[in-house]
Amino acid sequence: MRFFTAGESHGPELTAIIEGLPAGLSLSAEDINIELARRQTGYGRGGRMLIEKDQVRFTSGIRHGKTLGSPLTMVVENKDWKNWQSIMSAEPVEEKLKNVRRVSKPRPGHADLVGGIKYRHKDLRNVLERSSARETTMRVAIGAVAKKILSELAIEVAGHVVVLGGIEVDVPNNLTVSEIKELSEKSELRVVVPTVEDEMKQLIDETKKNGDTIGGVVEVVVGGVPIGLGSYVNYDRKLDAKIAQAVVSINAFKGVEFGVGFEAAYRPGSQIMDEIIWNEQDGYTRKTNHLGGFEGGMTNGEPIIVRGVMKPIPTLYKPLMSVDIDTKEPYKASVERSDSTAVPAASVVAEAVVATELAKEILEQFSSDSMEELKEAVKLHREYTKNY
């Protein structure tokens, strides 16, 4: 399975093409729209989310509610496009319209300046339109398809916020994946402990008032994972490494960890490795899950636990100092409409990209021309691993 996304933030629409999906997967626009709506909620988002109501349209790869095995194309319209038609026009426009909303003062922390230098753009809008986190819409759409495959294989994915602007969620350590899903879904901030919400909202309000932004940490957990996805035999086949790449590729993400993660630097090996046990019902399991479901770049059957850190959004209403690319004079950076925080939305995106990497790996590892074949192959594999 491979995929592409395309589309500018204020262009007419966003597109994704996925190739290599099994035939016979039940899929509806509603399956995708539910996930798109989850990404659009969350306390602390700006005005744009009031304009957009993301809805997918399939234009290929599906017939009568089932995938065909041919490339699946999904399109999401940008409702805001109507306000940007001449600014973002594909056709040349009159001279006097060319510089409307031109950006010449790059925002620190954004792709603006480096992208401008690299592609030799003199209007930094040409960079920010694609580097915008609007692109994550299509990653969530692709993730929704991936999740559909995973759910047919009894694999469940849940994402939630564990730190927001320095406020930590005291996550109970015995929660199941389903409980994490259920609890975070009820929360506007996608946290599993509702008592922390007031403090977080207050911080978001204060941050907004100060023209500033905050980041945080999101966690994705996956249950029901077959043993042996990914491989130790070559660096580029390690599944934890592929997931790490996918998580860090989310806009504004700066780091990733699995299980105890960076905490491993502070503990002896005896408190990190997960002891192996076996019983007839569950086969091989571990007494603990400090390693977050991976050994040797392969899934070991324990839940995958992966966290990613998101820096505060770099577009500030109280802008930082920058340089105007026309005059080279110091200037305050451009102010674009923005969110105070998008960490809750980012937890939905993280969920999507992890689901996508897992589905990709599963489709590569097992016969998967059709869902029927795939389900049979995974079932046989699970029976084998239990009694190995």
Q: Which residues bind ligand EPS (CB under 6 A)?
A: 9, 46, 48, 52, 80, 132-134, 137, 315, 336-339
Cβ 338 to ligand EPS shortest distance, Å: 5
Cβ 122 to ligand EPS shortest distance, Å: 20
Q: 46 or 255: whose CB is closer to ligand EPS?
A: 46
Greatest CA separation for the chain: 75
Cβ 177 to ligand EPS shortest distance, Å: 26
Which residues are registered as beta bridge partners of 370?
23
Q: Which helix (H) or strand (E) holds 118?
A: helix 112-119
CA distance 115 to 316: 19
Structure tokens at 365: 């590892």
Structure tokens at 381: 């594999």
SS3 label, residue 73: strand
Cβ–Cβ contacts within 10 Å for residue 80, how many?
Answer: 17
Characterize the bridge pairing of strands 276-279 and 283-286: antiparallel
Cβ 115 to ligand EPS shortest distance, Å: 13
Q: 46 or 224: whose CB is closer to ligand EPS?
A: 46
Residue among 196, 246, 187, 194 nearest 220 (CA): 246
Sequence-distant (6+) residues with CB within 8 A of 13 are 7, 75, 76, 77, 78, 81
Cβ 128 to ligand EPS shortest distance, Å: 6
In the complex, residue closest to ligand EPS by CB: 48
Sequence-distant (6+) residues with CB within 8 A of 47 are 337
